[in-house]
Amino acid sequence: MTVSETYLKGCFLLEPKIFEDDRGYFMESYNAKTFGSSTGSDVHFVQDNQSFSNRGVIRALHYQLGIHAQSKLVRVIKGTVLDVAVDLRKGSSTFGEHFSVELSEENKKQLFIPKGFAHGFVVLSETAEFFYKCDNYYNKASEGGIIYNDPMLNIDWKLPKEKLTISEKDAILPNLENARL
């Protein structure tokens, strides 16, 4: 597995070694020892989540606060998404900056998003199955979010606005300046 840190400190892109032959392929999607030594992160994942979404669905930009903050290791099982991580760590030299990458069933890349980041994605294929590991349990009272189209973040979601589907809950999220951090 190749692990490289993005320009957002602590946020890593993981590219597995894929072994293919006429039967199909094999890859190791996660190994705690390799992950820890490659990222320097001592993460203990406690919850796995999976979602299915149609083209244009945005699930963004979400995070958990305080003691309920979560690190995530995300990947796509079917389809293609544009995955986005936003640095919300006060005092960070990259506060308010984002990193985006296409994750797909073809490239099998994964993104590790540490605590202190917002996360979201948009489905670029007809449908997508998205899978992620969390190192903390979800806590409704600690959830936070930022509106996907905050002009300060200036995220290019790769699809025109009229092709996007946003939940009622996500459509009324505050911008970064007014977010609960």
The answer to the question of residue 13 being in a domain is no
> For position 27, what pLDDT does the model report?
93
Closest by CA position to 37, among listed 9, 65, 3 = 3
pLDDT band, residue 40 (cuts 50/70/90):
very high
The answer to the question of residue 63 being in a domain is yes
Q: Which residues have a Cβ under 8 Å from the Cβ of 33 and sit 6 or more positions away?
A: none
pLDDT band, residue 162 (cuts 50/70/90):
very high
Q: Is 62 a catalytic residue?
A: yes
The answer to the question of residue 69 being in a domain is yes
The answer to the question of residue 76 being in a domain is yes
Residue 104: domain span: 44-178
Q: Which pTM does this prediction carry? A: 0.95
Q: Give the end-to-end CA distance of the chain in Å, rounded to a whole number.
A: 34
**109, two tokens:** 């890349």
Chain center to CA of 141 = 21
Q: From the candidates 63, 98, 119, 132, give the one annotated as an active-site residue.
A: 132
Per-residue pLDDT reduced to its tens digit, 98-153: 999 999 999 999 999 999 999 999 999 999 999 999 999 999 999 999 999 999 99
For the chain, give the mean pLDDT: 97
Q: How many CA atoms lie within 13 A of 80 on its CB side?
A: 11
The answer to the question of residue 5 being in a domain is no
> For position 144, what pLDDT does the model report?
97
> For position 61, what pLDDT does the model report?
98
We report the CATH number of the domain holding residue 94 as 2.60.120.10
The answer to the question of residue 26 being in a domain is no
Number of domains present in the structure of the chain: 1
36/68 Cα distance (integer angstroms): 21
Burial 143-178 (b: 16+ CB within 10 A, else e): ebbbbbbbeebebebebeeeebebeeebeebeebee
The answer to the question of residue 12 being in a domain is no
Chain center to CA of 82 = 9
The amino acid at residue 51 is S
Q: Is 98 a catalytic residue?
A: no
CB-count exposure of residue 41 (10 Å: 0-12, 13-18, 19+): middle
Q: Which residues have a Cβ under 8 Å from the Cβ of 101 and sit 6 or more positions away?
A: 13, 82, 83, 109, 111
Per-residue pLDDT reduced to its tens digit, 78-97: 999 999 999 999 999 999 99
The answer to the question of residue 74 being in a domain is yes
**33, two tokens:** 């020892």
> For position 90, what pLDDT does the model report?
93
Q: From the candidates 62, 63, 98, 148, give the one annotated as an active-site residue.
A: 62
